[in-house]
Amino acid sequence: MGKLLAESLVRDVPDFPQPGILFKDITPVMQDYAALREVTQHLAAWAKEKKVDAVIGIEARGFVFGAPVALEVGVGFVPVRKLGKLPYNRVAEEYALEYGTNTVEMHADSIQPGERVVIIDDVLATGGTAAAAARLVEKLGGVVAGFGFLIELGFLEGRKVLSAYDVHTLLRYE
């Protein structure tokens, strides 16, 4: 794949959210029609090859990319949300953070046994949230056909956490 327009639009923000962190801001990618379309098309082409029944997006920026990918692929979109945000019967999965834990949820009727899904998010960092989303799918009997991300922060080694799955990223930073 050649250089993506999105790559030129990712903005480095030093010392955010704390000193010593170089934050990769994807807001300019989302604000640019051509870049957003490009990211959507690349992720959708990859997802189509997986012959999926649904696309899952992880809150919040996974919604920005996941929903249009689902439309391109011709399947429904399933949100994975933070604890307490979904109104109906839910399954939950806790995952470790550097200090403490967090929890994500999905509606219990959103994936049927045997359905194939891809999970879309903006950034692969440590892989904890993505792995928790995969466990939710598998609790419901679904099959995770792969993960798609705009950015991979390779130095955080999140790909190792997801080593049992196909991981597709458009941009990688070391």
Cβ-based burial of 116 (10 A; exposed 0-12, middle 13-18, buried ≥19): middle
Active site residue 61: yes
Q: Quote the tokens at residue 30.
A: 């989302």
**Choice among 11, 37, 61, 115 that is catalytic:** 61
Q: Are residues 61 and 122 in contact, defined by beta-carbon separation less than 8 angstroms?
A: yes
Helix, strand, or coil (residue 20):
coil
Phi first, then psi: what are they for 45, rounded to 5°?
-60, -40
N- to C-terminal Cα separation, the chain:
19
**Choice among 59, 94, 98, 152 that is catalytic:** 98
Phi first, then psi: what are they for 74, rounded to 5°?
90, 35
Catalytic residues: 61, 98
